Amino acid sequence: MTIRPDQLNDPAVRAFVKALNSGDRDAFLAILTPDATMSDDGSDRDLADWTDKEIFSSRGHMEVESQSADGRELVARYRNETWGEMRTKWKFTVEGEKIARFDTGQA
């Protein structure tokens, strides 16, 4: 079963998923704090490089299967043109109305 982005509980996470899925880099960056950080499979990554490679230049797309922690933790099928599709987990740290950090990796 897939959870539509507009059904996600946390407004910042909802905006993150919508921007990612639509390939809207400006909206994606607008939902992040200026000093946002991220990790992939437990290793901190350069946010700008990672998002360009894993989301925008490879047409990343997320289909959310479940949410927990008030919508700040997701399990999703993530796909892009580089890696194909994989089951992933996402954890978001939200400050105010923006995402300060996200951690992703294989589920």
Could you state, in order of their start, the residue ranges of all structural domains in the chain? 5-106
**What fold is seen in the domain 5-106?**
Nuclear Transport Factor 2; Chain: A, (3.10.450)
Find out whether 76 and 92 touch, Cβ atoms under 8 Å. Answer: no
Quick one: pLDDT band at residue 92, thresholds 50, 70, 90?
very high
Whether pLDDT at 1 is above 90: no
| pLDDT above 70 as % of the chain | 100
